[in-house]
Structure 1
């Protein structure tokens, strides 16, 4: 039966939950989707999924473990490699659904999960098309752009203290995702991050929480999707890069795109990191839809 339904699936002991948009009653092409850093599915993933479904593409949308409707502890912790594995669990689950042709599965990701799909395209050959929107290309380079050099030693001391406290049985330390003052401690220290997360949570996603574990930031700095990009081929890759992106800086994403082999396509989006979800939604969603239609 076509339409959206709630789903849940077992990701090796943790239940992940989301939505399945059935575009057809017969086995058809399917896009697997999860959100970026700390975000939950209500933060415009439904809008992208609706565009895909209207074009005849099933869409499987899920909340990352430790966030939103999905289970997992500690809450508000992002382990990028666990999230990559959970995409793979979601692909496996999708293959059990009657509407899904398991040989026609693509992955879509944005921001942090835009980095995940670069890794996935390289390591999981079940995936037949990749769309990476405003991706994190290099955690270390990204932190180097966002955190002043003279402040990084302080972060390292905080990471080490948190590690010692956790070893002693303390709960993990937490840090805000965003702060109104970009100079205050936060995981995403940009003014547009504060505006988008707070406005979007108020309008669409009351379950979103403005905190992540400090260890989340440490793992971000260790994550290097760019090192996988050259291995995505021959799986087709579409990368959508925002010209004015300074959260996951455009030049880092373009460096990653340059390392990808054919078949590949680059679309430059107007505006900054978050415009793809709102003012630039049509410019972002239409090329993604068309890429999946062409390759799935």
Structure 2
């Protein structure tokens, strides 16, 4: 019995030590990964240019770096272009890039690049093993997203039709934390837009789990675990937006947002330093199933850029 007791104690201590290590590993800041995985100027593989009614083209672009980072994007620009155009880099929901033509439509007098998140794993979970493999790939994709934004701008800087001195970064909803990181680290973006994003990523997760986790007592724990697994401490949006200055940050909130309370938007805005601006729009949260709302919000961005350039 003594031997069994010592074995049980040893197993308990080992489990406790592993748990402490796992917790420490998932709470440590991984800011170095945002820079280290960016790599040099990427190698680009471009698909055929597709012409669309209304006078614009789209093109799928696949970028890769020596660090193993792979970025998929959809490029939209006018069919006729007399000079390099301002650049808008857009990060929204899952598969934004491949759906950009339907969501964005005509980009206006701009070069618009809509990024997909750099997740290349299997969407379906078939076993416990595939869950853990998929989890590791999702975690890596999250850490790779801010450098993916910079890699896209690296490639755009080599294109004669893109004016990257007038590059702006737009993050929509789920893209907000990643755009805050990328916008803070990459000073080539002259302005950063956060549309329908807010402060408190863990609270945002909890709020959006109401339908999937109806138990009030369980939801905070589920949100804590999801935030932990996503390396949420490294994507603290309030901390990152404070580092964007002296470049401008514009926060756009929706008065009737069903996914993001107003006070979360206001808290994010308060965390930023000048120059900054808070714009409120009517309606609910942006949704890819309502492309007309996506286009309306992007038109707000484009109108501001046109006005700024016209004032010069």
TM-score w.r.t. structure 1 length? 0.66
**2:288 corresponds to 1:288:** no
**2:115 corresponds to 1:62:** yes
* Secondary structure in structure 1 of the residue aligned to 2:205: helix
The higher relative CO (CA closer than 8 Å, separation ≥ 6) is in 1
Distance 1:101 1:278, change over 3 A: closer
**2:144 corresponds to 1:86:** no
**2:61 corresponds to 1:7:** yes
Q: Provide Cα deviations, 1:159-194, integer angstroms capped at 9, x if missing partner.
A: 5xxxxxxxxxxxxxxxxxxxxxxxxxxxxxxxxxxx
Distance 1:244 1:99, change over 3 A: same
Matches within 5 A, 1:261-276: 261-274=273-286
Q: By how many angstroms is 1:14 displaced?
A: 3.6
**2:151 corresponds to 1:151:** no
Q: Provide Cα deviations, 1:241-273, integer angstroms capped at 9, x if missing partner.
A: 111223233321221112222322222122221
Q: Is the 8 A contact 2:172 2:196 kept in 1?
A: yes
Q: Is the 8 A contact 2:77 2:111 kept in 1?
A: yes
Q: Is the 8 A contact 2:86 2:166 kept in 1?
A: yes
Q: Which of residues 67, 87, 91 in structure 2 aligns to 1:30?
A: 87
**2:230 corresponds to 1:219:** yes
| Runs (5+) with no aligned partner, structure 2 | 1-48, 50-55, 122-132, 210-214
Distance 1:146 1:101, change over 3 A: closer
1:241 corresponds to: 253
Q: Provide Cα deviations, 1:182-210, integer angstroms capped at 9, x if missing partner.
A: xxxxxxxxxxxxxxxxxxxxxxxxxxxxx
Q: Is the 8 A contact 1:111 1:133 kept in 2?
A: yes
**Superposition RMSD on alpha carbons, in Å?**
3.3
* Secondary structure in structure 1 of the residue aligned to 2:72: strand
Distance 1:154 1:61, change over 3 A: closer
| Runs (5+) with no aligned partner, structure 1 | 160-214
Q: By how many angstroms is 1:34 displaced?
A: 2.4
**2:184 corresponds to 1:128:** no
Between structure 1 and structure 2, the one with the greater Rg is 2
Distance 1:291 1:130, change over 3 A: farther
* Secondary structure in structure 2 of the residue aligned to 1:280: helix
Q: Is the 8 A contact 2:103 2:295 kept in 1?
A: no
